[in-house]
Structure 1
Amino acid sequence: MGHHNAHRMSRRSVLKVAGGLAAAGAASGGVAAWSSSSADAAADAGKKATAFTHPGMLHSSGDLNRAKKRVAAGDEPWLSGWKRLTANGRSQSGRTPRPQKTVVRGGGSGENYGLLYADIHAAYQNALRWHIGGTQENADTARDILNAWSGTLKSIEGDTNRYLALGLYGWQFANAAELMRDYDGFDLERSQQMMRDVFHGWNHDFLVRHNGTCDSHYWANWDLCNMASMMAIGILCDDRAIYDEALDYFYDGAGNGAIKNAVPFLHPDVDGHDLGQWQESGRDQGHTIMGIGQMGAICEMAWNQGTDLYGYDNNRFMKGAQYVAKYNLGQDVPFTTYEWGSGHNCTPNSHTEISPGGRGQQRPVWDMLHYHYTRRRKLSVPYISEMAQSVRPEGGGGDYGASSGGYDQLGFGTLLYAK
């Protein structure tokens, strides 16, 4: 990333926050903007700006409360989303966790990473059932799974694919832990320590070094899951420096997870709105949709901490998601030749056309975007909305195939984000 970039971006973030607070104070203060009570309020606002909101990753307390009330009232589409959750085999209480000291992804022999993601999704789904249904046995199950792993896991190993595990299961574990952070008997401190010791250092190392390769070598997903892990660990651990590193990378990073590298080209659409070509579009659609899910998770976590990445650079991510949705709905999209360097010597490569591989694949990543852009922001996103409708009600891990791809996202967006 380059340390100069990182420091410059951090200062810019700080100035932006400070400016926003000053503007807010002036706007709300009216005539008495400079009274001592306003100065106290401004100081309080400054403190609030540096404290993290909990729960504050994929789900705020408002999201959880709304789902709880709507499900209790039997309202749709929340009830259908709830039925999807309770029908999932991983959401059942009483699961016996299978923690490992070493988890291996990639390299062939000894691969056991499926044990980790199955337990993470079980912890997450049980945590949701407790928050929304109030059932203590689900909370106990989530707590016991998380405690078992935080007391056992020491390292993630394997070939280059270990970095996918470090990213994906980092942000997912932290999200499950965030939902349980105040629950009786949950060892938050040990989970925080495990996230720092096992995940964060390697997430950081990957984004800085890219495993010794050219910065453009790895597809957007690899950066994005490691950025998401750092952001989630920063929130879980109340560590502003880790959180800010993920933010800075989103704005300014050297690799393909940075927003302008993930969405390198903008194309005008028929309705006058822009579509954003996604970095992996020439590769295949499964990984492209996966990338939308990873960046969506980053944007939602940041949103719940008061940072708007969804709208950054004139809604650049929204344009990327619209492009991906339009093509996967079976419609044509423009494509600009995409060139990048790979390997240790940045060997030149190019995609000259969009790839139809995996076109139309279903992944539960769209409702979060649909409800953000149409309800919170009152924007029209017809392709995202149509994709969301085609997957609704969204399921979660295990509902989209038994392979790891079915566990790349936590899902259940209909239940948690419908408004």
Structure 2
Amino acid sequence: MTHISRRSMLKAAGVATAGAALAPSATATAAPAAYAHPGLLHTRADLDRMASKVRAGAAPYTAGFTKLAANRHSQNTWAANPQVTVYRGSGSPQNYTILYNDIHAAYQNALRGHVSGDEAHLDTAVAILNAWSGKLTELAGSADRFLAAGLYGYQFANAAELVRDHPDFELGRFQEMLSTVFASLSDDFLVRHNGAVISNYWTNWDLTAMACVLATGIFCDDRAQVARAVDYFKHGEGLGSIRNAIPVLHEGGLGEWLEAGRDQGHALLGVGLMGAFCEMAWNQGIDLYGYDDSRFLKGAQYVAKWSMGGEVPFTANTREKGAINGWSGSETVTEAAGVDPAMTRPIWAMIANHYTRRRALSASYLTRIAAKSSPEGGGGDYGPNSGGYDQLGFGTLAFTREKGAASQTPSPTSSSGPRPQATSSAVPSPSASPSPSPSGGDLAATGSDDLVGWAAAAGIGALAGGLLLVRRRDRLRGGSAD
């Protein structure tokens, strides 16, 4: 069993190495500067809007708040159950369900406290967060420990961001835990990918890590960390960067989502994660929603149409997998996976409201699926397994906006670098990686557990050129790519 602990993996060995590999040198050496707080998924204006709308009895905010108040995690009687070590993955005594339940209880109580004005909920959130920062020292298990770091790291940061100014909140201690237990693994994954070839891990693995690195950077006022995450979104070689997650643009404003050839659940998860990443960046003045001619809009429209049972184009592709200097293989996908139109996740309100309300753009599939999914719930409302806790949710309450509200692109922060120039492409990017074939398991990368021991042995310091072994063909040819 491989362990990466808070005490044994110093930031100098993990995060600093990742920074050298991923960050633009000018940004990485810039002095730290404070970000706007609260400023992850929710700003002060967002919290004030929710509270005023619920007080006024305005729809659909009231339906969203009712959904929140009915969730068992949002009750101020919730008691934390912190652990010294959290395990996720085969071959370990898994206890990560304890962690994600407590995170969602902290987030839901914090959100409910801000909207209702009931301080008891804020106190409960603080008690949960303080309990964990005072006890947790490591994440362990198989390769799935990277998923735990990414998913629960960015969620933890969002819960804590809502109470960072509470007089009883142990801010410095929480920042240390978030940086050394969670972000160190996520940063390391984006550099080394657990010793795997670059296309081995599905899109969601990168996106969880990216979300954690970004959220931690903002929460800890670390400009270099934010820059690394943003740069990876734009230019990363792994399958979570924007042009690899959405490698082909089709007519009708649709962008093929990489994991549509895998299964619906993971495609929904990926869209939700990219939406959360874009929203957190937006709230710090970094416009990734509009990057590359609103490429994310095209990908989200594709998944929305497909998830509702609509026909979507699909390009055959092959994904290389395996360990560097170790085992290797490949998988080929020739068509989009089947869908259940009844399946949903609480991801659509945030994305639809950004494009149709903030930007006043047409997004018919997003509009339809957001209405169909309303009112959105959160952790505990979408089943008992970990997949039901992959999003913080409650988007109907949190992200419903008036038409034209905050429609202007935010002013760039000093960490965001030059404003990206929007570009449009009808063909895949040369670095785009094709969609992998379906596989079972929650966020499971085929063969990922076989790679647990490779990270230390490989000694990979950066994502070297030539690791991306997969290229998409311009035309179909036997369902494979070379």
Q: TM-score scaled to structure 1, two decimals?
A: 0.88
Cα distance, 1:3 vs. partner? 8.1
2 CA distance for matches of 1:185 and 1:402?
31
Cα distance, 1:361 vs. partner? 1.5
The match for 2:362 is 380
Quick check: 1:135 aligned with 2:146?
no
Quick check: 1:121 aligned with 2:137?
no
SS, match of residue 157 in structure 1: strand
The match for 2:298 is 319
Quick check: 1:349 aligned with 2:331?
yes
Q: Deviations over 1:355-389 (max 9, x none)?
A: 01555421000000111000100001000111101
1 CA distance for matches of 2:329 and 2:362?
40
> Could you tell me which amino acid in structure 2 is paired with residue 289 of structure 1?
L
> Could you tell me which amino acid in structure 2 is paired with residue 326 of structure 1?
K
Q: 1:145 to 1:2 in 2, by over 3 A?
A: closer
2 CA distance for matches of 1:359 and 1:381?
18
Quick check: 1:89 aligned with 2:72?
yes
SS, match of residue 280 in structure 1: helix
Q: TM-score scaled to structure 2, two decimals?
A: 0.76
Cα distance, 1:136 vs. partner? 1.0
1 CA distance for matches of 2:207 and 2:62?
31
C-alpha RMSD over aligned residues: 1.9
1 CA distance for matches of 2:365 and 2:270?
17
Q: Deviations over 1:201-237 (max 9, x none)?
A: 1111111111110111111111001100000100110
Query: For the Cα contact (< 8 Å) 1:330–1:360, is it kept in 2?
Result: no
> Could you tell me which amino acid in structure 2 is paired with residue 411 of structure 1?
G
Aligned partner of 2:274 among 257, 277, 295: 295
1 CA distance for matches of 2:25 and 2:353?
30
Query: For the Cα contact (< 8 Å) 1:93–1:138, is it kept in 2?
Result: yes
Quick check: 1:238 aligned with 2:221?
yes
> Could you tell me which amino acid in structure 1 is paired with residue 148 of structure 2?
A
1 CA distance for matches of 2:67 and 2:18?
45
Percent of aligned pairs with the same amino acid: 53
Aligned partner of 2:393 among 384, 405, 411: 411
SS, match of residue 260 in structure 2: coil
Quick check: 1:166 aligned with 2:145?
no
Cα distance, 1:10 vs. partner? 5.8
Cα distance, 1:4 vs. partner? 8.7
4+ residue segments displaced more than 4 Å: 1-5, 357-360
- Unaligned runs of at least 5 residues, structure 1: 15-45
Query: For the Cα contact (< 8 Å) 1:5–1:252, is it kept in 2?
Result: no
2 CA distance for matches of 1:349 and 1:330?
25
Q: Map 1:190-339 to 2 at 5 A.
A: 190-269=173-252, 274-339=253-318
Query: For the Cα contact (< 8 Å) 1:192–1:237, is it kept in 2?
Result: yes
SS, match of residue 309 in structure 1: coil
Quick check: 1:149 aligned with 2:128?
no
The match for 2:350 is 368
Q: Deviations over 1:32-83 (max 9, x none)?
A: xxxxxxxxxxxxxx99x95311000000111110000000000000000000
> Could you tell me which amino acid in structure 2 is paired with residue 307 of structure 1?
I
SS, match of residue 276 in structure 1: strand
Cα distance, 1:160 vs. partner? 1.1
Q: Deviations over 1:113-140 (max 9, x none)?
A: 0000000000000000111111111011
- Unaligned runs of at least 5 residues, structure 2: 1-16, 402-482
The match for 2:60 is 77
The match for 1:25 is none
2 CA distance for matches of 1:231 and 1:338?
30
1 CA distance for matches of 2:211 and 2:242?
13
Quick check: 1:6 aligned with 2:22?
yes
Cα distance, 1:197 vs. partner? 1.3
Structure showing greater relative contact order (alpha-carbon pairs closer than 8 Å, 6 or more residues apart): 2
